[in-house]
Structure 1
C-alpha cells in the first residue's frame, strides 16, 4: 500500500531559523537602544559640549592677530645663469686649469641665496644688525593706536632689559639658538615656484608695520650678502691671476689670464652697481590691513565639534560601565 506523499511531514518547520551563536544578539548594534542612551545622557552631552565651546572661544580670543607681508622676487640674469655666467661657461675649462672657480650655468645662485636666507648665521647676523630681538621674542600684542605692546614679564622696554625667569642653562636674554628657531618656524616663509622660478619672501608678525619692514630688510640683506660674497671671491681670483700672469711667459697662457682677469673685473663692477644683485623685486611688500591668522571661527567650530564627540563617547562609556557593573552584580548574586 503506497503512502500519500502529501502526508509526509516536512523535513524542516516553516518558521525554522538556524541556531544562532549565543553571543550573536550581543554583537548586534541596536540603534534604538543607542539613541536611547544618548537621549538619557543629553544633559551630559550639552554640558560638556558647552564647556568645550566656551573654552575654544576663550582660547581663540587669547591668540594675538598675526599679519603677513610678502614680496614677489625674480632672479636676476646673473643669478639665473645669464650675463657673465655664460662667459664663465666658455672660460670655465681654462679657469679650472688655472685653479680659478668661475661658477657657470650649473651654479644656481638662486638656490644658494635661498639656503643662506634660511641659515642660522644669516638670521643671527640679521637680528643683531637691526637689533630686533625684543620685537621678535617679547611682543604680546599690537594695537593700531599704541603700536607694539611688550610682555612685561619677559622684557622691560623702559630699561631695555630682559626680565624673564628661566632655568639654567638658559639666560634671561634669548640665545641665538632660541630666536633663530622662532624666526625660522614662526616668522620667515620662503618659497620658490619651480615652474616660473619666482620667489616669495614673507614675514608673519603681530605688527603689520614690522612685517612689511622686515621683508624689505631681508631682501636688501640677501642681495648685499651675495654681492659681497661674489666680490670677495672675485678679488681673491684677481690676486691669484695676477701672480700667475707675472710668472708665465707663454703668450697663450697670458691671453687666457687676461680674459679671466677681465671676467673677474666685470663681476666686481656689476656687483657694485647693482643694488638688486641676485633678486629683483617684482611686487614689493606692503603693510597688510587684514590679519592672516588665527581663524577664530574655525578654532571655535573645531573645539565645539570635539567637545560633542567626547561627550557622546563619555555617555556611551558611562552607560556601558554601568551595564557591565549590573551584570557582574547579578552574576555574583546568582552564584551564591
Structure 2
C-alpha cells in the first residue's frame, strides 16, 4: 500500500508553473535578439537629445535677496490704534488686509505692472525680437525677420499686419523669466530674473526692485493724501471738541505716513544681497537633457522589441491552431 501511494504523492507535490509566468531566460533571449534595434533607437534619441541641447541658447539668472521693509500701511496702523474712535466718527480707513510686502509681491507679478515696466524701460525688443546675446560685442543678436534695428521698427507679415507684440504676449513672455520665492523661516524673498544676457538679467532685477518700491510708495502717498483731504472735510463739518481731536490725530498719522514714504529710499523691499552679473549659465541643462533622451530611447527600444516578440508569438499560436 505504501509503494502504491508514493507516486501519487510525488505527482501532487510537483510545482505548478502557469503558462503566463515570466521566464527571465526567455526575456533575456528576446532582448538579445533585438539588441541592434535597442542600440539603434537609443543612439537616435541620444543624438537628437544632444542636438536639441546644443541648439538651445544659454540662459543666465540674476538673483536679488530682499527683506520686507514694513509690515502694514499707515491706514491699517491708524485703524488699529484708533479703531474705536474711528468707528464712532463713522470713518472707514481700510486696513486689516494683506501686508505691504505681500501686496507688493502680487503687484510685481501683475499684468498691469509688468506691461508698464516693459514699456517704461523699452524692453519689448530685447524680450520679443532677439535670438541670442553676443558675449564678445555685448550686443543682442536681433531677429531681422520681425524687427528692423536700423529704423527701430517692427516689420509686417505677408498679410501686411504688424509683427509688434501685444501687451499680452510681452507679459506672458516676461513672466517665464521672472520668479519669486519666500523663505518661510527668515521671511526673506528671492527675486530671480532670467535672460539670454547676463547683464540684462542683472539690470532687469535691479529695475524691478526699484520700480516696485516706487510704485507702492506712490500708491500709499496718493491714498494717504486722499484720506487727509477726507478727514479735513469731516473736521470742518463737526463742532464737537472730542471728534475734532480724533480728526487731528488721524490727520497727523496720515501726514506721518506721507513723510515716511517720501523719506525712505527702499520703501517696501530692502536689498539684502544685490544682483550681480551671473558668470555661469542657469539653463539649459545640456547633460541632463542628453541623459534623459538616451534613457527614453533605451526604454522605447526595449518596448518595441517586446511588442514585436509578442506579435510574433501570437502569429505562431494562430498558425499552430
TM-score, normalised on structure 1?
0.87
On the 8 A contact 1:95/1:102 being kept in 2, the answer is no
Q: Label 1:153 to 1:81 Cα distance change in 2 as closer, same or farther (>3 A).
A: same
Question: Structure 1 residue 137 and structure 2 residue 132: aligned?
Answer: no
- Paired residue secondary structure (2:4): coil
Q: Label 1:330 to 1:12 Cα distance change in 2 as closer, same or farther (>3 A).
A: closer
On the 8 A contact 2:64/2:273 being kept in 1, the answer is yes
Question: Structure 1 residue 153 and structure 2 residue 148: aligned?
Answer: no
Once the two structures are superposed, the pairs formed by residues 237-252 of structure 1 within 5 Å of their partners are 237-252=227-242
Question: Structure 1 residue 47 and structure 2 residue 40: aligned?
Answer: yes
How far has the Cα of 1:88 moved from its partner?
A: 4.8
How far has the Cα of 1:194 moved from its partner?
A: 2.3
Equivalent in the alignment of 1:334: none
Once the two structures are superposed, the pairs formed by residues 1-336 of structure 1 within 5 Å of their partners are 9-10=4-5, 12-17=7-12, 25-76=18-69, 79-81=70-72, 86-96=77-87, 97-101=89-93, 103=95, 107-146=98-137, 147-163=139-155, 165=157, 172-184=163-175, 186-331=176-321
Hey, what's the Cα distance between the residues in 1 that align with 2:156 and 2:60?
Answer: 25
Hey, what's the Cα distance between the residues in 1 that align with 2:268 and 2:128?
Answer: 30
Hey, what's the Cα distance between the residues in 1 that align with 2:319 and 2:151?
Answer: 70
- Paired residue secondary structure (2:47): helix
On the 8 A contact 1:156/1:163 being kept in 2, the answer is yes
- Paired residue secondary structure (2:66): strand
Hey, what's the Cα distance between the residues in 1 that align with 2:223 and 2:74?
Answer: 18
On the 8 A contact 2:60/2:278 being kept in 1, the answer is yes
- Paired residue secondary structure (2:8): coil
How far has the Cα of 1:29 moved from its partner?
A: 1.2
On the 8 A contact 2:76/2:95 being kept in 1, the answer is yes
How far has the Cα of 1:32 moved from its partner?
A: 1.1
Hey, what's the Cα distance between the residues in 2 that align with 1:92 and 1:205?
Answer: 48
TM-score, normalised on structure 2?
0.91
- Paired residue secondary structure (2:280): coil
Structure 2, unaligned stretches of length 5 or more? none
On the 8 A contact 1:66/1:204 being kept in 2, the answer is yes
Q: Deviations over 1:183-206 (max 9, x none)?
A: 22x111112222222111110111
Q: Deviations over 1:104-126 (max 9, x none)?
A: 6x651111111111111111111
Q: Deviations over 1:13-52 (max 9, x none)?
A: 353147998xx54202111111111111111111111001
- Paired residue secondary structure (1:16): helix
> Which of the two has higher C-alpha Rg?
1
Hey, what's the Cα distance between the residues in 2 that align with 1:145 and 1:240?
Answer: 59
How far has the Cα of 1:176 moved from its partner?
A: 1.4
Structure 1, unaligned stretches of length 5 or more? 332-336
How far has the Cα of 1:245 moved from its partner?
A: 1.4
Q: Label 1:86 to 1:99 Cα distance change in 2 as closer, same or farther (>3 A).
A: closer
Hey, what's the Cα distance between the residues in 1 that align with 2:151 and 2:297?
Answer: 45
How far has the Cα of 1:326 moved from its partner?
A: 2.5
Hey, what's the Cα distance between the residues in 1 that align with 2:311 and 2:57?
Answer: 43
